Structure 1
Amino acid sequence: MSTTPDYSQDETARKQEKYWLYILSNTKPNGPLYLGDAACLLSRMNEHHAGLRRDYAHYHRLDRLVYFEVWSDHDKFVARLRRVRNWPRDMRLLLIESLNPEWDDLLPQFLAEQSTKSQIQEQKGREKAA
């Protein structure tokens, strides 16, 4: 019997995980920005909206999701996160405006997409069971 731990399951789980980089803002046009990261954007946004996280976003009432990215490769995600964190504010503003020029709250769109994806997965699960 081998005493070497089996990391193959950990590697498989790690490859299937998603990593989210997101930016929050408020309704002020030149207001503060919050750059965050999460393993699950939906639960993290729930935490922000419920006031469970007593952080910069909470104290500045940053509740609008104005930008997000999803990554499946942890190493690339960490590199991207470090890069964006080191950017000056001007670069972050350009990043947001490149995909969200109206500074809309993207959370409703994100929730709708997640709902659609979960419905598709449920349908596939029912098809496999049948």
Structure 2
Amino acid sequence: MMADRYRGTIYTGVTADIGRRVEQHRSEGGSRFVKRYGLTQLVYTEWYDEIESALEQEKAIKKWRRQWKIDLIEQANPDWLDLTPFINA
């Protein structure tokens, strides 16, 4: 999940290469939504062995209420820190 700031706009997506996808979003080569709202911080990730499972979870989360998404992020990342340095390390 990408965000622009603490409790700001949230984007949910799926990728096989999270580091590359974050860089695409940051260089304005990602989705129109991310570009429009300036979402540059990776604030939450989940890892799956099968892409089908990841796609199912993405579709489910996109239907969630905003507060549920915030709660999910804050359980793992209460300060909404950018997680990119941790996935690229």
Task: Please confirm whether the aligned pair reaches a TM-score higher than 0.5, indicating the same fold.
Answer: yes
How many angstroms does 1:54 deviate by? 4.9
Percent identity, please.
26
Moved over 6 A (4+): none
- Normalised TM-score (structure 1): 0.63
Once the 2 structures are TM-superposed, how far is the Cα of residue 53 of structure 1 from its aligned partner? 2.4
| 1:105 match: secondary structure | coil
Answering whether residue 75 of structure 2 is matched by residue 79 of structure 1, we say no
Q: Give the drift of 1:73.
A: 1.9
Q: How many residues align?
A: 89
* Aligned residues of 2:14 and 2:54 also touching (Cα < 8 A): no
Query: Which blocks of at least 5 consecutive residues in structure 1 are unaligned?
Result: 1-22, 113-130
Higher RCO structure, 1 or 2 (CA under 8 Å, sep 6+): 2
Q: Name structure 2 gaps, 5 residues minimum.
A: none
Report the equivalent of 1:56: 33
**Paired letter, 2:54:** F
Query: Which structure shows the higher strand fraction?
Result: 1
**Change beyond 3 A, Cα 1:54–1:87:** closer
